[in-house]
Amino acid sequence: MTRPQTVQDVYEAIRRDRLVEPGRLCAFADRNQLTDPKAALERLVVDGLLTAYQAAEVAVGRGGGLWLGGYRILDRLGRGGMGHVFLAEHSVLGRRVAVKVLSESLQADPGARKRFVREARAAATLDHPNIVHVFDVDMTNDPPYLVMEFVDGISLQAAVSRGGMFSAGETATVGMQTADGLAQSAAVGLVHRDIKPANLLVDRRGQVKILDLGIVRFTHDTHSWVNGTEIILGTLDYLAPEQAIDSSAVDPRADLYALGATLYFLLAGHPPYPMTDLRRKLTAKQTEDPHPLHLLRPDLPLELSTIIHRLMARDRAARYQSAVAAVSALRPWANPGPDFPARLFRLSSDSTAQDRRMTDHANDHDPMPDTTPIIKPAARQMPSEPSEAEPAPPAPVRRTPKPEIAPLVPSSPLAIGGMNDSTFDHTPLPQGGRPLVVAGNKQPQSDRWLLRLFGWVAACIAVAVGVAVLIALAGR
């Protein structure tokens, strides 16, 4: 790995690594008589011949690593314990894709390699607009990689973290589309086993995409093995009670439970069981129902609250018995309003600055599903931490959103392709984990207006009584 010392070294590295067509590179060199390598790379980015990521790799002598098979890497979208996710472009077709690369430390891990193949195999059986497509997998390449559909979207986890809770209509719309995708996967014998807000994207057209089929279960499989040891797979906040007991014996109704828990999160701003202790959380999932949604959100139609709680029934026989039935139940409430999904992509100035800082730090996301055994201590803090008595979750804070709306930020680190936007997976919500109400949600009148109304009514009654007394006295 040799760092370029001169401008000519920069041009030679770019030519050797096939990052820019020779004719365009020569024309650039003729137009710009530069002597500083750093200035040359900056100018190449400004002129659109290199991306900022490519220029940074060339500057440290790693331009040769910007190819995976026939795909030229443009940017790094995420990074985590299992590897990286890159934005790439096919050298001939020009199609942009998301490429998941297995990290060097896990290339010899049979469990990690199996998940790569399993994800590709599962995606190959599916063709649905609400499921991210996987186009190719190459396990013989060094490093192995998986090529997926590139989605310009935002995860539900990030959307709530940035913008607050969803309205009833938005929630039902997201739920209906997700259930439609789950119906297709169930029809071909698949159970996702890791439906959660970080694994669901909404693109700029409002279409939901289900991510990460790495721990999917084929219903004809008898076991699910990772590293030769059978463990509980999935994310505890959203997995079904029976999945926490035996993840190898679940059926599609486990995905419906996870969908219900995800919709609960969209409306409440926190998971159904927000306690931080994993053992207490697991016990609660087996023995207690979540705090009723209609008490947390008085503006929520009782019928929609009932649908979501039925999805989360602890007894799977009491849930909807198919995703098709869940689609039918949610459809009448799926009215997201004219500002959806545009509002999800309008960030405040603070969020924009945070996203840019995160971009500067290489977008430290985890592109792979969380398969940590639930018996281990929590690695990250949950959005809220109840007291020892575990009281009901606090009522949402009602605030009026700021009228100023920042422009779209194309460079913000949105959840792309097969990547979990898990930077936001357990990020505390604004105001210490208490959700804010976003624009467009209908909220009940505050107590102050009720008190004023009662005051006016009392005053009117007092005046009427006084007039009656005066009339009676005058009559005497």
Residue numbers annotated as active site = 194
Cα 35 off chain centre by: 45
Question: What is the token pair recorded at 407?
Answer: 């422009």
Collapsing DSSP to helix, strand or coil, 30 comes out as helix
Q: Which helix (H) or strand (E) holds 84?
A: strand 83-90
If you compute the radius of gyration of the chain from its CA atoms, what whole number of angstroms results? 27
Both tokens of 379, joined, read 């690695």
Classified as helix, coil or strand, 226 is: strand
User: CB of 57 within 8 A of CB of 72?
Assistant: no
Q: Is 128 within 8 Å of 179 (Cβ atoms)?
A: no
Amino acid sitting at position 342: A
Q: Is 229 helix (H, G, I), strand (E, B) or coil?
A: strand
Query: d(Cα 161, Cα 22) in Å, to the nearest integer?
Result: 45
Looking at residue 395, the DSSP 8-state letter turns out to be P
Q: How far is CA 438 from the centre of its chain?
A: 18
At a CB cut-off of 8 Å and minimum separation 6, what does 334 contact?
A: 169, 172, 173, 175, 176
Compute CA distances 473 → 327, 463, 469, whole Å. Answer: 69, 15, 6
Query: Which amino acid belongs to residue 334?
Result: A
Three-class secondary structure of residue 309 per DSSP: helix
58 close to 5: Cβ distance less than 8 angstroms: no
**For residues 8 and 14, what is the distance between their CA atoms, to the nearest angstrom?**
10
Phi, psi of 71 (to 5 degrees): -110, 130
